[in-house]
A and B are shown apart, each in its own frame.
Chain A
Amino acid sequence: MKRKLVLVGNGMAGVRTLEELLKLAPDMYDITVFGAEPYGNYNRILLSPVLAGEKTVDDIMLNDLRWYADNGITLHTGKTVEQINRARREVVATDGTTASYDCLLLATGSNPFIIPVPGHQLPGVITFRDIHDVNFMLDAAKTHKSAVVIGGGLLGLEAAYGLQKLGMDVTVVHLLDTLMERQLDKPSADLLRRSLEGRGLKFLMQAQTESILGDDHVTAVRFKDGSEIPADLVVMAVGIRPNFALAKQAGLHCERGIVVNDTMQTYDPRIYAVGECVQHRGIAYGLVAPLFEQGKVCANHLAHLGYARYEGSVTSTKLKVTGIDLFSAGDFNGDATSEDIIYKDPGAGIYKKLVIKDNRITGAVLYGDTIDGSWYFDLMRNETDISDIREDLLFGQSHLGDSGHGEDRIAAMADSAEICGCNGVCKGTIVNAITANGLFTLEDVRAHTKASASCGSCTGLVEQLLASTLGSDYSQTPKKKSMCGCTDFTHDEVRKAITDNGLKTIPVATEFLEWRTPDGCHQCRPALNFYLLCAWPGEYQDDSRSRFINERVHANIQKDGTYSVVPRIWGGVTNPAELRAIADVAEKYNVPTVKITGGQRIDLLGVKKEDLPKMWGDLSKAGFVSGHAYGKSLRTVKTCVGSEWCRFGTQDSTTMGIKMERMTWGSWTPHKFKMAVSGCPRNCAEATIKDLGVVAVDSGWELHVGGNGGVKVRATDLLCKVETMEQVLEYTAAFMQLYREEARYLDRTAPWIERVGLSYVKQRIVEDAAGRMQLAGRFHESQKTAQVDPWAERAEGIDRDEFMPMKKVG
């Protein structure tokens, strides 16, 4: 028989837990839900835009009544549970409805706090928590003129903004001299206040409410100093209190909220609790992101999987007032041991402050320009050492390496502005998808709109849109990010487990790490394949089934299903015989397009899959090997003509490039890896936008790392200068090996170096000579088995089936 699960509290945290549970174990429980409100589950966060008339109640429904029916869930709307009988394992609602449980989930949210001043019960005094409150305010605005909002925090300001848009005359009353003091410091709060005043809101700061006046309806608010302001609507938005009365009455241990452990269980292990009503490790959260993480863990435990634990969240906030960009995270006030970096441009309405402690960001407040909020937040969560980028930090991520990303002030962008250039998705489409489909995370947006799903350079913009639409980006809070949906382990944890435990095949690794899926997915399998290949060179048998098609068939698939063939041309130097051989092959196989690539070689486009092995055979006979133009691997080494011909040349860059390419070809890397060598600082080979760029100078060679071209150009950082060609080779091998061993799969060198810090790379490659030699040694070791030409092998018959139809019919 199915077990019985009862949920009390039909809100965001509780229902999210049910959704997660249904994904993991759809048939395990008979589920009954009690909700005090007369609706399905709606997106409480979006009540503010409903109040502001920017959305309707229908727009913000997350789970309508159909959803409950479709999933076989019994829903009691409008019924408040007033008693839990733990001995009989039964809950009782005020109308007498009962339900018995094997497991009980409490998600009763919180109650708005009401200051018990005289007059607080008068008609016309309201809080801001649910649909009822919003409807009340919408009605009030039709007949009344002046409103007072008590509380200048997030909620109060959103209420004030909404009421003002409805045409009311609004005064915000705040006890302190800083608005949103839990998210902002004084300078940013002042900017915010000025901007809101510019929109017509009035503020009364440092004012303590003494009483609310009126006979049968409110008429005014009086303060301690004796002053009064008239009001026909008073909104109390002074904070929330976790709602744990029911739990307490049932004898569960409560402090500031219902106390739960890391698996979201209360002191009675049959009773779980999630959401704003709980207190976990001393903290009660008031934002959705942590609640969703709690829901995930709770569902996991309810499904008897038992591997997930909730370890707390780091949160960040945004204010959802249209046109105001504001971001806050962490300890933004700092203390005696921290220092602040501040950027101020009051004329432009911009203020940025980062709090730094031990070279790590511990807090951030951004006002006016928040595009880098998610980047700072990432640096903060990853505890990245920022000493290398400190001078440029406040100018933002795009300033590193001097990029031009174009528009970056998301609030100022038109709905028709294109956000994702790869998939042609514009701002309006994303915002609509977020609200219409109830999306919360970057992954959700990627899945629904394809925005940011390709090259990812617009990720920051999409995160901004999520944040400005919902008040936070919910994919951000987990302290660690798992590799994919198949596991909760991070890339780094998986790699460590592979080497520490001698895991040598994908099935062994996924079994050891308790993967949730039998054979992984298209995200984790290629990553695992690379990690194993890197950890056990020569020993690991490459799993072609875990390679993307291009790497499996050693050619790039084109949009019409044909392939391109790019033979390696060492250092971009060729000769008539080679050119003739390429020309012959192109004619023999009717290659429709022959193109010179930006990597200084020749691309034969439009080749049929069946022709590939024969064509490679011919190229192989002429001395060519694969150019790996298709792989997460060494691509090209671009060179200039250098001192051999050029009047400016200081060194023989061409020979250097050829040596580098001969040494490194065939190696697999976390993402594509490109190199270039220029013969003098004029840098004709564009070495400073490569993963590793070498620039010759009179006295030797400069090594530059971490550059890339593309959507978001990033120039390299100087690693060091060396004197001889042998040294260039040694450092190159060591750098590539460090990248191979420590970057996450699909990280190019730039984001990897930004994460670990250039100092770290310098320490490993430049300062630690013995370590460098070991890295280079491991690189050469792995090259012994990697430098086998995949084309020649296939021309000789390996994987023949891959290229032939199984059967032709007709």
Chain B
Amino acid sequence: MTDWFEIGAMTDIPRLGSRVVRTALGDIAVFRTATDKVFALTDKCPHKGGPLSQGIVYGERVACPLHNWVIQLDTGEAVAPDKGCAHRYPVKVEDGKVFLKLRGTVVNIADYAAAAQA
């Protein structure tokens, strides 16, 4: 079994936008910037859990829709002065397809394996 999941074409994600990948362990937000860079973060704002996938994307940042914390897409860190970090998932784009790496980033492997088999 491979660690990388194909989740769709890059063009499925709008530029300066985001789509959600639903997993048994929670939603993952996959972002695409104006320059076609792709990032993935857990879809939970470090502030009060707002869905980052619904925020406004600019540069390599997203503004959370609930209280406007700004989260750095490459690190998942909140931009100062706010402090906090959204979990980051490795992503890569090959031949226009987006791959997301879940294994190794999941805390509880047993949960994950059960989820993958279900």
Q: List the interface of chain A (C-beta within 8 A of B).
A: 437, 447-448, 450, 453-454, 517-522, 525-526, 544-546, 548-550, 552-553, 557, 559, 561, 801, 805-810
Closest 3 CB pairs of A and B: A522-B63, A806-B19, A810-B115
Q: Kindly report which residue of chain B lies nearest to residue A522, judged by CB atoms.
A: B63
Cβ of B17 to closest chain A Cβ, rounded Å: 5
Residues of B contacting A807 in the complex (Cβ-Cβ under 8 angstroms): 5, 7-8, 21-22
Q: Kindly report which residue of chain B lies nearest to residue A806, judged by CB atoms.
A: B19
Residues of A contacting B12 in the complex (Cβ-Cβ under 8 angstroms): 801, 806
Considering only residues 68-93 of chain B, those with a C-beta below 8 Å from chain A are 68, 70, 81-82
Judge whether B116 and A526 touch: CB under 8 Å: no
Judge whether A450 and B56 touch: CB under 8 Å: no
Judge whether A801 and B56 touch: CB under 8 Å: no
Judge whether B118 and A557 touch: CB under 8 Å: no
Q: Tell me the bound Cα distance from A132 to B21 in angstroms.
A: 61
Residues of A contacting B17 in the complex (Cβ-Cβ under 8 angstroms): 545
Q: A447-B81, A450-B67, A521-B63 are in contact. Are A526 and B19 (CB under 8 A)?
A: no
A-B contacts besides A518-B34, A522-B68, A559-B66, 9 pairs, CB < 8 Å: A447-B81, A518-B35, A518-B58, A521-B56, A548-B56, A561-B49, A805-B21, A806-B19, A810-B116
Cβ of A348 to closest chain B Cβ, rounded Å: 39
9 pairs from A and B in contact (CB 8 Å cutoff): A447-B81, A522-B68, A546-B56, A559-B48, A809-B5, A809-B102, A809-B115, A810-B24, A810-B118
Q: A522-B58, A809-B5, A810-B115 are in contact. Are A549 and B21 (CB under 8 A)?
A: no
Residues of B contacting A454 in the complex (Cβ-Cβ under 8 angstroms): 67
Cβ of A153 to closest chain B Cβ, rounded Å: 35
Residues of A contacting B22 in the complex (Cβ-Cβ under 8 angstroms): 805, 807-809
Judge whether A810 and B23 touch: CB under 8 Å: yes
Judge whether A545 and B57 touch: CB under 8 Å: yes
Q: Kindly report which residue of chain A lies nearest to residue B68, judged by CB atoms.
A: A522
Q: Kindly report which residue of chain B lies nearest to residue A433, judged by CB atoms.
A: B81
Residues of A contacting B50 in the complex (Cβ-Cβ under 8 angstroms): 561
Residues of B contacting A561 in the complex (Cβ-Cβ under 8 angstroms): 49-51
Residues of A contacting B116 in the complex (Cβ-Cβ under 8 angstroms): 809-810
Q: Tell me the bound Cα distance from A557 to B45 in angstroms.
A: 14
Residues of A contacting B7 in the complex (Cβ-Cβ under 8 angstroms): 806-807, 809
Judge whether A548 and B19 touch: CB under 8 Å: no
Residues of A contacting B13 in the complex (Cβ-Cβ under 8 angstroms): 806
Judge whether A437 and B81 touch: CB under 8 Å: yes
Cβ of B45 to closest chain A Cβ, rounded Å: 10
Q: Kindly report which residue of chain A lies nearest to residue B116, judged by CB atoms.
A: A810
Judge whether B58 and A520 touch: CB under 8 Å: yes
Q: A809-B116, A810-B116, A810-B118 are in contact. Are A453 and B68 (CB under 8 A)?
A: yes
Judge whether B56 and A557 touch: CB under 8 Å: no
Q: Tell me the bound Cα distance from A450 to B74 in angstroms.
A: 25
**What string of 1s and 0s marks CB contacts (under 8 Å) between B8-33 and chain A?**
10001111110111111001001000
Q: Kindly report which residue of chain B lies nearest to residue A447, judged by CB atoms.
A: B81
Q: Tell me the bound Cα distance from A393 to B63 in angstroms.
A: 39
Judge whether A806 and B115 touch: CB under 8 Å: no
Q: Tell me the bound Cα distance from A519 to B23 in angstroms.
A: 31
Considering only residues 82-118 of chain B, those with a C-beta below 8 Å from chain A are 82, 102, 115-118
Residues of A contacting B19 in the complex (Cβ-Cβ under 8 angstroms): 801, 805-806
Judge whether A518 and B59 touch: CB under 8 Å: yes
Residues of A contacting B59 in the complex (Cβ-Cβ under 8 angstroms): 517-519, 521
Judge whether B34 and A519 touch: CB under 8 Å: yes
Residues of B contacting A520 in the complex (Cβ-Cβ under 8 angstroms): 58
Q: Kindly report which residue of chain A lies nearest to residue B50, judged by CB atoms.
A: A561
Q: Tell me the bound Cα distance from A546 to B116 in angstroms.
A: 36
Q: Tell me the bound Cα distance from A519 to B36 in angstroms.
A: 13
Cβ of A527 to closest chain B Cβ, rounded Å: 12
Q: Tell me the bound Cα distance from A549 to B43 in angstroms.
A: 14
Residues of B contacting A453 in the complex (Cβ-Cβ under 8 angstroms): 67-68
Judge whether A806 and B20 touch: CB under 8 Å: yes
Q: Kindly report which residue of chain A lies nearest to residue B29, judged by CB atoms.
A: A806
Q: Tell me the bound Cα distance from A519 to B15 in angstroms.
A: 11
Most chain A CB neighbours (cut-off 10 Å) among B13, B58, B81: B58
Most chain A CB neighbours (cut-off 10 Å) among B12, B56, B70, B81: B56
Q: Kindly report which residue of chain A lies nearest to residue B33, judged by CB atoms.
A: A519
Judge whether A549 and B81 touch: CB under 8 Å: no
Q: Kindly report which residue of chain B lies nearest to residue A557, judged by CB atoms.
A: B65
**Residue from B20, B49, B55 in contact with A522 in the complex, judged by beta carbons closer than 8 Å:** B55
Q: Tell me the bound Cα distance from A305 to B111 in angstroms.
A: 53
Cβ of A693 to closest chain B Cβ, rounded Å: 31
Q: Kindly report which residue of chain A lies nearest to residue B13, judged by CB atoms.
A: A806
Residues of B contacting A809 in the complex (Cβ-Cβ under 8 angstroms): 5, 7, 21-24, 102, 115-116
Judge whether A806 and B63 touch: CB under 8 Å: no
**Residue from B16, B63, B118 in contact with A545 in the complex, judged by beta carbons closer than 8 Å:** B16
Residues of A contacting B55 in the complex (Cβ-Cβ under 8 angstroms): 522, 549
Judge whether A545 and B14 touch: CB under 8 Å: yes
Q: Tell me the bound Cα distance from A450 to B47 in angstroms.
A: 12
Judge whether B58 and A525 touch: CB under 8 Å: yes
Residues of A contacting B66 in the complex (Cβ-Cβ under 8 angstroms): 557, 559
Judge whether A549 and B54 touch: CB under 8 Å: yes
Judge whether B102 and A517 touch: CB under 8 Å: no
Residues of B contacting A553 in the complex (Cβ-Cβ under 8 angstroms): 54
Q: Tell me the bound Cα distance from A556 to B67 in angstroms.
A: 14
Cβ of A309 to closest chain B Cβ, rounded Å: 26
Q: Tell me the bound Cα distance from A67 to B34 in angstroms.
A: 34
Residues of B contacting A545 in the complex (Cβ-Cβ under 8 angstroms): 14-17, 56-57
Most chain B CB neighbours (cut-off 10 Å) among A546, A552, A806: A806
Residues of B contacting A808 in the complex (Cβ-Cβ under 8 angstroms): 21-23
Q: A545-B14, A545-B15, A806-B7 are in contact. Are A525 and B21 (CB under 8 A)?
A: no
